[in-house]
């Protein structure tokens, strides 16, 4: 979808239809009050009314906020995509809401059609924003550019997540990373099985051993001249999670192509950062692996030695993400001295039980740091919830055989015990600088919600960019 700003009043911008947002209060004084009330339009959230005879589409708002404007624009776009209109225009809203409206356009119009033999080409191609004399035009141009970069990165992640496990293998993820590094001028290092063996990443190797698609470690780096901070991002990139020998049920295996969403998210985040040209050095690490069954599969009862030397008792091969992350976190910390380390993983079904299907679980030792993330997520339009650690839960992953066990001895609190497992692979000096995001519930959807349709959502991208943009601002002060 093409979004353009016009330095002209709305009346002189040419388009097929005009978009308006109204709250129930504003409805009383609307030019078409009677026709809208005839259509039972009340100005509520997600209510849309198309007045073809007036070349007008009106959408309700429960209140004036970023979330409501984003949602309203999303409803308008989805409605217009089902019509034959080719262009629509609207006034630039208040500065505070402009980026949310643009997100509603760019994220709401997304549809993945790569596997359709006859993809639908929508008529709607252009959204025009007309200038509002109260504000500085240049300033809006820069908000538009920034929002476009972040939305396109989100859609890039959605595209990757939506690819089948046949197409998006660990090797294909590495090829994607390599081409991203070329277009965006990033450094790129890929480790194959030999490289992983040299690095003693035996936990990650064990998970990938039964697959015909061998694992890859991806390291992308964005290095500006004088960075204000150094950030490490780590993503779980399970291109398929069958559960391994602790095989998943037929029903829970479907959708497990999305188990690479954390890895895809960190690639999308570094893409956006390099396009926004932030003064922050960013390293993105992805553990790209396929968890399969076979004669050489790793087994419940195995003991694995991770990169940092710790031994892990495997009691369930479906708790594979934490094994991959154990090694990738170890590799990342050995190679980059960072100010912060954040990991993104579709790690546990338990996170969905705890927080519901749309919310990312936020875990870590540093309460203040976690709160800064909850705030950034809220501002960005993503949902996040804090899941607190405690010393009792840590006892549940003790092993009689090895240093730590890959599953908890109790069936509750699985998202937190998984994070406490990862804690074993965070170096002492990084404990307070680490945050873990469980995106199991937020990364993928089979039914539309908010700006998302069927498939990958791009969870993690918008909230991380918001957090990093604030970090950059702090550095400038």
Residue showing tokens 């800064």: 372
Per the CB < 8 A criterion, the answer to whether 287 and 325 are in contact is: yes
Question: Alpha-carbon distance 237 to 155, whole Å?
Answer: 17
Q: Are 472 and 379 in contact (CB under 8 A)?
A: no
Asked if 241 is part of the footprint of Zn ion (rule: CB under 5 A), the reply reads yes
Min separation Cβ 320 and ligand BES, Å = 5
414 contact choice in ligand BES, Zn ion, none (CB below 5 to 8 Å, kind-dependent)? ligand BES
Q: What residues are paired with 218 via a beta bridge?
A: 190, 286
Pick one of Zn ion, ligand BES, none as the site partner of residue 317 (Cβ within 5 to 8 A by kind).
Answer: none
Collapsing DSSP states into helix, strand and coil, what is residue 320?
coil
Stretch that binds Zn ion, among 17-25, 233-241, 328-336, 408-416 (CB under 5 A): 233-241
Candidates 278, 318, 275; CA nearest to 298 is 318
- Residues paired with residue 290 on neighbouring β-strands, in sequence order: 240
Kindly indicate which of the ranges 153-161, 316-324, 389-397, 406-414 contains the residues binding Zn ion, using the contact rule CB under 5 A. Answer: 316-324
248 is catalytic: yes
Going by DSSP bridges, is the β-strand pair 126-130/87-91 parallel, antiparallel, or unpaired?
parallel
| # residues near Zn ion by CB under 5 A | 6
CB of 264 to Zn ion, least distance (A): 14
Per-residue x/- mask for Zn ion, residues 320 to 359, rule CB under 5 A?
A: xx--------------------------------------
Phi and psi at residue 345, to the nearest 5°: -155, 140
Nearer to ligand BES, 104 or 456 (CB): 456
Paired tokens of 347: 């790690």
Given the residues 78, 148, 228, 248, the one annotated as active site: 248
Residues making contact with ligand BES (CB under 6 A): 241, 259, 316, 318-321, 346-350, 407, 414, 440
Give residue number: closest CB to ligand BES: 349
- Is 158 one of the annotated active-site residues of the chain? no
From residue 251 to residue 280, the character string flagging contacts with Zn ion as x (rule: CB under 5 A) and all else as - is: --------x---------------------
Question: Among residues 321 and 456, whose Cβ is nearest to ligand BES?
Answer: 321
Site of tokens 């509603």 = 104
List Cα–Cα distances, 160 to 174, 239, 296, 408, in angstroms.
12, 10, 29, 31
DSSP structural state of residue 407: S
Question: Which residues are at the interface with Zn ion (CB under 5 A)?
Answer: 238, 241, 259, 318, 320-321
Catalytic amino acids? Answer: 248, 322
């Amino acid at each position: 979808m093409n979004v353009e700003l016009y330095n002209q009043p709305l009346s002189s911008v040419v388009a097929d239809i005009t978009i308006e947002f109204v709250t129930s209060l504003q409805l009383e004084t609307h030019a078409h009050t009677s026709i809208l009330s005839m259509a039972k339009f009340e100005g509520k959230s997600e209510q849309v009314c198309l007045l073809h005879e007036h070349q007008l589409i009106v959408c309700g708002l429960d209140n004036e906020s970023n979330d409501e404007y984003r949602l309203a624009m999303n409803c308008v776009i989805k409605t217009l995509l089902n019509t034959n209109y080719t262009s629509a225009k609207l006034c630039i809203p208040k500065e505070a809401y402009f980026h949310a409206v643009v997100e509603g356009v760019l994220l709401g119009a997304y549809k993945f059609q790569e596997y359709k033999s006859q993809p639908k080409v929508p008529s709607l191609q252009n959204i025009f924003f007309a200038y509002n004399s109260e504000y500085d035009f240049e300033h809006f141009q820069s908000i538009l550019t920034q929002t476009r970069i972040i939305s396109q990165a989100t859609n890039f992640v959605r595209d990757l997540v939506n690819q089948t496990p046949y197409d998006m293998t660990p090797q294909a993820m590495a090829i994607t990373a390599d081409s991203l590094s070329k277009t965006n001028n990033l450094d790129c290092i890929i480790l194959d099985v030999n490289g992983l063996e040299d690095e003693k990443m035996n936990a990650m190797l064990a998970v990938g051993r039964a697959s015909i698609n061998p694992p890859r470690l991806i390291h992308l780096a964005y290095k500006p001249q004088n960075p204000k901070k150094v950030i490490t991002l780590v993503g779980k990139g399970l291109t398929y999670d069958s559960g391994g020998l602790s095989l998943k049920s037929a029903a829970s295996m479907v959708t497990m192509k999305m188990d690479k969403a954390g890895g895809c998210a960190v690639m999308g985040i570094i893409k956006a950062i390099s396009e926004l040209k932030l003064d922050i050095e960013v390293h993105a690490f992805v553990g790209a692996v396929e968890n399969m069954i076979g004669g050489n599969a790793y087994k419940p009862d195995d003991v694995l030695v991770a990169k940092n030397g710790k031994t892990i008792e495997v009691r369930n091969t479906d708790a594979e993400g934490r094994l991959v992350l154990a090694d990738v976190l170890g590799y990342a910390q050995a190679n980059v001295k960072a100010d912060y380390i954040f990991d993104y993983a579709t790690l546990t079904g338990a996170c969905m039980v705890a927080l519901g299907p749309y919310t990312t679980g936020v875990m870590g030792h540093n309460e203040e740091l976690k709160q800064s993330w909850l705030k950034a997520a809220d501002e960005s339009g993503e949902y996040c919830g804090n899941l607190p650690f405690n010393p009792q839960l840590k006892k549940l992953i003790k092993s009689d055989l090895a240093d730590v066990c890959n599953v908890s001895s109790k069936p509750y609190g699985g998202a937190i015990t998984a994070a406490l497992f990862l804690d074993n692979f965070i170096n002492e000096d990084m404990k307070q600088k680490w945050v873990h995001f469980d995106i199991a519930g937020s990364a993928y959807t089979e039914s539309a919600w908010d700006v998302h349709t069927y498939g990958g959502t791009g969870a993690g991208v918008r909230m991380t960019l918001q957090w990093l943009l604030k970090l950059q601002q702090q550095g400038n002060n």
